Amino acid sequence: MKLTKPIVLALMLAVCFACENKELTTNELQSSKRIEQKFIKIDVNFEEGANALRNGKTKNNNDDPVLDMMTKINAAIAGQGIILEKVEILGADEAGRTVFFDNRGSKQTNFDWVPNDPRNNGFGAAVPYWIDDTQLGTSSGMTQQATFDAMVNSMHTWEAVSCSDGLEIPFLGTSGFDIGLVQYLEGFGGSDLVIVGAIAHAGILPPDFFETVLGPGAGTGTIGVTFTFSYGTDIDGNGKGDTALSEIYINDNFNFQDAPNDDLFDGNGVIDFETIVLHEVGHGLSQAHFGTAFRDGGQGNLHFSPAALMNAGYTVGRRDISGTDEAGYCSNWGTWPNN
């Protein structure tokens, strides 16, 4: 099935939108109906596609492991109607980065959601999300309930920004099985079933996944990553590619806790899990990295100017959308869906 074929899911959509009520507790959200809608299956020929590519039968892309990975994935899903266009990496001890599949210098096209995109499962002007509930625990001791809460809270935090009253971010449900297209294509579980038009919280994965997919050092240097797929089109003519779906992965290599006021530089190595998810969701909602990174002359700690949630490296627990974060978000979503 081609991904460009619209799928109307009126019944399930009605259920899902009813579930997204801010009066509901997180436990009620978690016990809500699991996703039962039709999925879109990516028809990958592993013999001629992903496996062969993974065995090195493709040209290395400028010796950049991330670009090379993107080339492999796009070759594996060629003809399926979506393209892996952007990888946004949140760094730990150093600033992260953003990698575009087709680098065009100053003419690089960015990517954004299209309101009422007919390809997006009938979601209209909403940008929904779903959660993989098979990979929620952390080795640092956070429970599945705690990480689930953080994911739901993060979506509500972005949705609650006052300038974006026209944006709804409904909760579709938990998967009940291992999801994640990038994960699947790279041999770390996942699934070839995707929901176009939605953001997927695709799991908390071991460092080996990040090392394999993003290159040497990523297993210890990457906290989280967001993969953005586009349709390879610009149907609304805004100069930006049309986002098809986003997948978010968190690296289980770190001491994640529910610690909103934690400072990475206080010596205990704790990182606030919800801050990381909130940052990655920002990418899922088209927010880019910003801020200039520098190290102080004392202990060499990493700092950003301005300090913000969407800085490319983690420095402190931060769960509010304000200042430059809010300005960037409002410039994109303030007139939605009349962009």
Residue positions counted in the chain:
339
CA distance 173 to 135: 15
pLDDT score, position 14: 31
**Average pLDDT of 170-187?**
95
Q: Does 10 have pLDDT greater than 80?
A: no
To 10 degrees, what angle do helices 65-76 and 207-214 make?
90
CA distances to 207, 211, 250, 251 from 221, rounded to whole Å, are: 9, 9, 12, 9
Q: How confident is the model at residue 38 (pLDDT cuts 50, 70, 90)?
A: low
Task: Give Cα separations from 18 to 28, 29, 145 (angstroms).
Answer: 12, 11, 22
Q: What angle do CA 108, 110, 115 make, to 5 degrees?
A: 150
Name the residue with tokens 């779906």.
245
pTM metric for this prediction:
0.85
Residue 67 has pLDDT above 60, yes or no: yes
| Model confidence pLDDT, tens digit, residues 208-267 | 999 999 999 999 999 999 999 999 999 999 889 999 999 999 999 999 999 988 776 666
Instruction: Say if CB 258 and CB 26 are below 8 A apart.
Output: no
What is the Cα–Cα distance from 332 to 339, expressed in whole angstroms?
A: 8
Give the pLDDT score at 186: 95
32: tokens are: 């809500």
How far apart CA 243 and CA 153 sit, in angstroms, is: 23
Q: Which 8-state DSSP code applies to residue 188?
A: S
- Domain chopping of the chain, boundaries: 10-333
Rounded mean pLDDT of 159-172?
95
Q: How confident is the model at residue 291 (pLDDT cuts 50, 70, 90)?
A: confident
Handedness of CA 99, 228, 52, 180 (dihedral sign): positive
Report the top-level CATH class of 10-333: alpha beta
